[in-house]
Structure 1
Amino acid sequence: MFFDTWSGLARVVIVGPLAYVALVLFLRISGKRTLTKLNAFDLVVTVALGSTLSSIVLTKSVALLEGVLALATLIALQYLITWSSVRSSLIEGLVKAEPTLLARDGELFTGAMRRQRVTRDDILSALRSEGLDDLSQAAAVVLETDGSISVLKASSDRTPGVMGVPQPETPSRRPGRA
């Protein structure tokens, strides 16, 4: 249970650092965009890289070179998809979600909240984390493409739109106070 073989321990000590160095080198070559958390697609790639690294280090049936090739393949695919999504709106639409406006000027968009499975308590929690104690203090609340909730604080010189967030065509909204 605590110890299998000395060769297993030696494998971890030798293969672990080599696989780690290979991953770091691949990430440096591929650029900063590889491990961002901009959307669900990026999260999946990050988790897959971690899982692959773990398999290389701990699974005897995965040879170091096979594992390094698997890491390189995942990073190359991530690079290809992100490179393509910058150049093609079709591919961008397939891999990236749009942010969703959940509330504006003290009013909750309950239809958007329901579609995105966000509760009033989720929004109130985001408000509190920004130091706000009332929904009317937020110009807008946005569900970002990475699943986080952003709160834009209200100010006296607001503009009507919310930067880069599609506005609801027929909002089903209900006034709400925090």
Structure 2
Amino acid sequence: MEFIHIATELIIGYIALLFTTKLLGRTQITQITPFDFISALVLGELVGNALYDKDVGLAKILFAVTLWGTLIYVTELITQKKKGLREILEGKPSIIISNGKIVYSELKKNHLDLNQLQHLLRQKDIFSIREVEHAILETNGTVSVMKKAKYEQPTREDHHMPLSPVVLPVTLIIDGEVIWDNLSESGFTEAWLKQQIRSFGFQDYKDILYAEWQEGKGMHMQPY
């Protein structure tokens, strides 16, 4: 009877976890953040510990999994609406190499040493930091890299083509909210941004899902 009891709880827990992970979406695996990682661990522990606790029945397992899953789901909804809270829970990308130079302050802030940086770059098939123009540490711990122009594949040097400068695009609007720091650092004003929005046929920031500016390519804007 004890084995039947464990088997029953395990099957019910399996179904509950499967349903919860499907509800929360695939970011639990493919775009996992530190918050997602901790949430997944706790969710698994709730079921694992309950299997061998005789005082915990099926109803308590289902209640615990449902409550925890609901808390995570509500948190995800909130982070979709509130940009400030999104940065607290999920973090934000950090530029760790800028214009070919390592930004040591950002490495230190993200507790990343140079050996770890080299390891992350090698995962992108980059074996020398001199090849990198810009590198961004993403919230899931991976690195996105923009190579210097002469190291692009196929390389411009191979075809004796003139080198063009590598320019990092600047995000100006996310989820209908202006990233004021980026706008200011790029040397633009609010009046300029409003003019750009009107040129695309829109009237307000809240109409825009995403907007970025890149030197030489201009504005890219996507509405909701």
TM category, shorter:
0.7 to 0.9
Query: Which of the residues 108, 111, 114 maps onto 2:105?
Result: 111
1-side partners of 2:52 and 2:169: how far apart?
A: 47
Residue 140 of structure 2 is aligned to residue 146 of structure 1: yes
Answer yes or no: is the 8 Å Cα contact 1:138–1:154 preserved in 2. Answer: yes
1:33 deviates by 5.2
% of aligned pairs identical? 17
Gaps of at least 5 residues in structure 1 are 1-5, 170-178
Runs of 4+ residues deviating >4 angstroms: 156-159
Structure whose CA Rg is larger: 2
Secondary structure, in 3 states, of the residue corresponding to 2:51? helix
1:86 deviates by 1.0
1-side partners of 2:165 and 2:38: how far apart?
A: 36
Q: Partner residue of 1:129?
A: 123
Alignment CA distance shift 1:153-1:10 (3 Å): farther
Residue 29 of structure 2 is aligned to residue 32 of structure 1: no
Answer yes or no: is the 8 Å Cα contact 1:12–1:57 preserved in 2. Answer: yes
Structure 1 segment 1-178 matched on structure 2, within 5 A: 7=2, 9-28=3-22, 30-32=23-25, 35-36=28-29, 37-155=31-149, 159-161=166-168
* Greater relative contact order, per chain length (Cα 8 Å cut-off, separation 6+): 1
Gaps of at least 5 residues in structure 2 are 151-163, 172-180, 186-224
Query: Normalising by structure 1, what TM-score?
Result: 0.76
1-side partners of 2:101 and 2:116: how far apart?
A: 15
Query: Normalising by structure 2, what TM-score?
Result: 0.62
The CA RMSD over aligned residues, in Å, is: 2.5
1:162 deviates by 5.2
1:120 deviates by 0.9
